[in-house]
Structure 1
């Protein structure tokens, strides 16, 4: 009997000790693990509130307040547990404009011609309090994080005006991070005065999100706000000029022909109805109408103010970027340019590239290690991991190939020259042999895909390499130097690098044969900020980069350089008939080939 009592006492003591144990994050192999005590969603505490900013972007005489929701484990209330925060902000949470092509600009007109504005619409807010979004919650709360969301200015229940890249879209998430660190005020109501504090937060914040939601983490980081330790932007728009223009050319993002910055403004403007007339007048009909310059496509102060590369000096947050090489909506240059600058600045940086289209976060393991290191402070050596991770053609997406950097350090420039062949295919050669000029006739009725597959057409010029005898690895930026003349004062210039023959069978991606591409306005040959009308028949030289890429062109394929004018999925579509003449002697394409000239020669000779 005595032994049974002793056993019972030990058992009860163990239970008592277990009851006193406080749940804490658990780490294994440098990653935050799912903690059973945090994994019961029925016990999560979910609230919403408003954080006061430092600006009044809707002009109502009061500082704008941002709508924020919080999801946290109950232990942050019952056990005094403090945790870091994973934060996502968006203009999309509360509904977007509904409508068809009437929302977009008409693109069937001559370059530089003024046309009627699209039909502007009002957005009806959707969603119910207190939930703004459920994104990120199931991933991060069980692993020992608090997850918060906020609606960006002028959307949902947040005050203010959407500016699509204006300063308030950087300062809004900054205010939320300041509140998490006790430097800004939070309130229980949009108009009320009852304050609420983030007593449950350690002050360390990581941000992530995709597309516009991936832009906002970068926007916040450029403010240098203390407490934002790490960001993981996925397919972020890092420059609205690069999104709606290309080397001086008015160019739409893929899939959204005729969209421009004012269209996106209307698409997301789901805030207070009583503020919309004023916001429309000040932001859309004045600032955007005067600054976007859809006629010339030139880079100006309006666009410079919406280019986050120009704002990176204060940035300190550790950067893990993700992008698809075949993202023709937010193109891969958006992440490439920011990653390069961050490296120059000495910011801890890694980049993850995959071979698909828009979106696609890094593997959860990579994200977990990143947030574990910079939010929980666990020294897991992530800063010494490979700097670039690329999903190779046969890789599983969660098992990318590591590289020392991107572009591949072994990539070297190989310049190829053009030999005539129009209206059939000419040749790409390593030596300059031709003094011929060849002409194409613009006609948007033919898609780029159709032109690349055509054996004989005067609507494009195409030049192909010898058939590859070995696989050829391209990594980095391809650059074209073109010398051309137009029969009109302005002309679209589209350039595709393709692999041939075209795969006409079942494909895993719509862009299997497109290696990379680029667009430019020949009127901007001398300056990105000032276009000059072209003189008929006069030749102009222009050099510009195509989109960054990293892929292996398989043996048996040929690399083709295709030059054409209007791209039916991306550019304005003027009346067919403009003639574009290319001087082959003064035109070349430079490819970033892993192994350089030796590798190219081995693959083609």
Structure 2
């Protein structure tokens, strides 16, 4: 699929065999290098956790490539259809999902192996039409304009292979690799639902089949069964973007046999993906996308079923997404995997980029906290880039070796968090005891008047700062506003120039008291480095951006019910910006910018709405490693 159309849709290719990461990530009780598990290394002591047979070789706590597994001429490939527990295309028969398997040669001789599993709605192609997004030129609170409906991808009934992703990485290490196509895509039956229960239950059925609890068949409609006698029943899932969302979705079911997941840039809440604190907000790079657009985009199943699916599913989506108010509803909650996190028991190694403005990093940080509360092992890997970016292969290998092969390699004692520091290789993250950094503490900062140019930020609240006003003008991008020495379209407040680096780690929070001249208004907040670099290239360019956030003042009291603003009457909002972990260098200033419509993320109302911000009731809370003392040392 074209890279330009990859919202929640990163095309996965076979991962490269990456170098190992720092020794801090390899602590623990793995076997001696090159020693087959079950044997006794030189020195006479048995290998800790020796539970897997030859031809496995474990070194540094990782399953190694061995000749018996790596001989692709001996690999066994098969395809089948697994029967699910639902009928999402309303034909009176339980849906079957299309599955393919690639397993090491020794499985033909009786060896049982665990499975690395990836499922996706993208494997069979996507809608090539570039004109299916919602128009964003819309007055706030008004009915949205119509959009062009998509037709999906061409149906290919003759496909014999789903994907080769993951195969070259994991089969040579002794894992089978399984793929499946989501309901309503490729050769799988059913309807696409974008977050509906069938998207969680379809991969559950595949895991049940691998454990002998569900039936598989040689064809989509026939009765000849296929069993997975070669499988140990232990399954690990991974994938990026939508393919990273689905491991989380199936994990919420608590299905037995799913031992570990490695979700990369997962969308863990569709409301968070398409809304922000009550505001209709597009994912970065895909202005005008919403759930129904993604529904159209992934259609690749049997064209004979699509009209019925549109009538039963797409029409329901379009009735419920509510682009008029952006309010939260039960329909959205049903598509929120964070709300379903209590069911997750699979050990989770999760990865995200702090400059991912497509699936934003709060999806991962909030989910990790929820899963850890279950007593489930959680490890987090962060980098400074954008969408996608797997952990180093050594981290992934240790995770699957521990939880799928049962080798006691010490991952439980590894640091909980790894962050790729600025300018470092993604293969060399820095370990931390936790995320946020254990020494991070909230620092309250208060704006000082002068925001039409650049006002100050103080560690103490100074009374009498009064109210400052900006005028909405969506034609001005956030980057343009941050670069401007002065502008009537934003308010900007900044700390003095840092004399030493300042490490931010965690989630910033703002409280803003604001009034509007109209009944509805967008509210956008950016934290930026100043001077903001010239020549930045749109919403996805990380230069100059620390973090962002958006909110709807109409939802100041409730996400579920908008309350129209009364002209001149102020409301107070408190909301989080996106989490971050970065070191701002000496010589920079940290700026707090408030504006209205964000050209690259929000709806585009006509210009002229005025927002007035009460500086005496506005606060920025920064997560600073070292707290107030660190900020005090860094500024004059």
Matches within 5 A, 1:205-224: 205-224=235-254
Alignment equivalent of 2:438, drawn from 394, 399, 409:
409
2:622 counterpart of 1:591 = yes
Q: Distance in 1 between matches of 2:626 and 2:564?
A: 41
Q: Distance in 2 between matches of 1:333 and 1:268?
A: 25
Partner of 1:490: 520
Q: Distance in 2 between matches of 1:422 and 1:482?
A: 14
Alignment equivalent of 1:520, drawn from 546, 551, 557:
551
Q: 1:11-64, CA deviations, whole angstroms, 9 ceiling, x for partnerless residues?
A: xxxxxxxxxxx9622111210000111112222111110000000001011000
CA RMSD of aligned residues (A): 1.4
Matches within 5 A, 1:188-199: 188-199=218-229
Alignment equivalent of 1:246, drawn from 260, 269, 276:
276
2:99 counterpart of 1:63 = no
Alignment equivalent of 2:327, drawn from 256, 273, 298:
298
Partner of 1:125: 155
Q: Distance in 2 between matches of 1:53 and 1:364?
A: 32
Is the partner of 1:397 in helix, strand or coil?
coil
Is the partner of 1:527 in helix, strand or coil?
coil
Partner of 2:345: 316
Q: Distance in 1 between matches of 2:614 and 2:452?
A: 15
8 Å CA contact retained: 2:251, 2:344: yes
Partner of 1:76: 107
Q: Distance in 1 between matches of 2:536 and 2:126?
A: 34
Gaps of 5+ in 2: 1-52
Q: CA deviation at 1:314?
A: 2.0
2:141 counterpart of 1:141 = no
Q: 1:131-154, CA deviations, whole angstroms, 9 ceiling, x for partnerless residues?
A: 100100000000000000000011
Q: CA deviation at 1:129?
A: 3.2
Q: Could you say if the C-alpha distance between residues 126 and 355 of structure 1 is closer, same or farther in structure 2, counting changes exceeding 3 Å? A: farther
Alignment equivalent of 2:230, drawn from 197, 200, 203:
200
Is the partner of 2:282 in helix, strand or coil?
coil
Matches within 5 A, 1:391-410: 391-410=420-439
Alignment equivalent of 1:49, drawn from 77, 80, 89:
80
Alignment equivalent of 2:396, drawn from 367, 376, 389:
367
2:378 counterpart of 1:342 = no
Alignment equivalent of 2:562, drawn from 521, 531, 555:
531
After TM superposition, the score normalised by the length of structure 2 is: 0.90
Matches within 5 A, 1:271-282: 271-282=301-312
Q: CA deviation at 1:505?
A: 6.8
8 Å CA contact retained: 2:138, 2:145: no
Q: CA deviation at 1:290?
A: 2.2
Q: Distance in 2 between matches of 1:417 and 1:115?
A: 37
Is the partner of 1:537 in helix, strand or coil?
coil
Alignment equivalent of 2:508, drawn from 458, 465, 478:
478
Q: CA deviation at 1:507?
A: 9.7
Q: Distance in 2 between matches of 1:472 and 1:394?
A: 16
Is the partner of 2:338 in helix, strand or coil?
helix
Partner of 1:17: none
Q: Distance in 1 between matches of 2:535 and 2:551?
A: 32
Partner of 2:209: 179
8 Å CA contact retained: 1:491, 1:522: yes
Alignment equivalent of 1:106, drawn from 106, 130, 135:
135
Q: Distance in 1 between matches of 2:609 and 2:436?
A: 37
8 Å CA contact retained: 2:81, 2:220: yes
Partner of 2:33: none
8 Å CA contact retained: 2:342, 2:371: no
After TM superposition, the score normalised by the length of structure 1 is: 0.94
8 Å CA contact retained: 1:23, 1:37: no
Alignment equivalent of 1:388, drawn from 403, 414, 417:
417
Q: Distance in 1 between matches of 2:221 and 2:561?
A: 47
Is the partner of 1:414 in helix, strand or coil?
strand
8 Å CA contact retained: 1:208, 1:231: yes
Q: 1:236-294, CA deviations, whole angstroms, 9 ceiling, x for partnerless residues?
A: 00000000000000000001000000000010111111111111011111x21222111
Q: Could you say if the C-alpha distance between residues 213 and 521 of structure 1 is closer, same or farther in structure 2, counting changes exceeding 3 Å? A: same
8 Å CA contact retained: 1:441, 1:458: yes
8 Å CA contact retained: 2:472, 2:607: yes
Q: CA deviation at 1:126?
A: 4.8
2:520 counterpart of 1:457 = no
Q: CA deviation at 1:130?
A: 2.5
Which 10-residue stretch deviates more, 304-313 or 540-549? 304-313
Runs of 4+ in 1 over 6 A off after TM superposition: 505-509
Is the partner of 2:373 in helix, strand or coil?
helix
Q: Distance in 1 between matches of 2:468 and 2:549?
A: 20
Matches within 5 A, 1:414-453: 414-433=443-462, 434-453=464-483
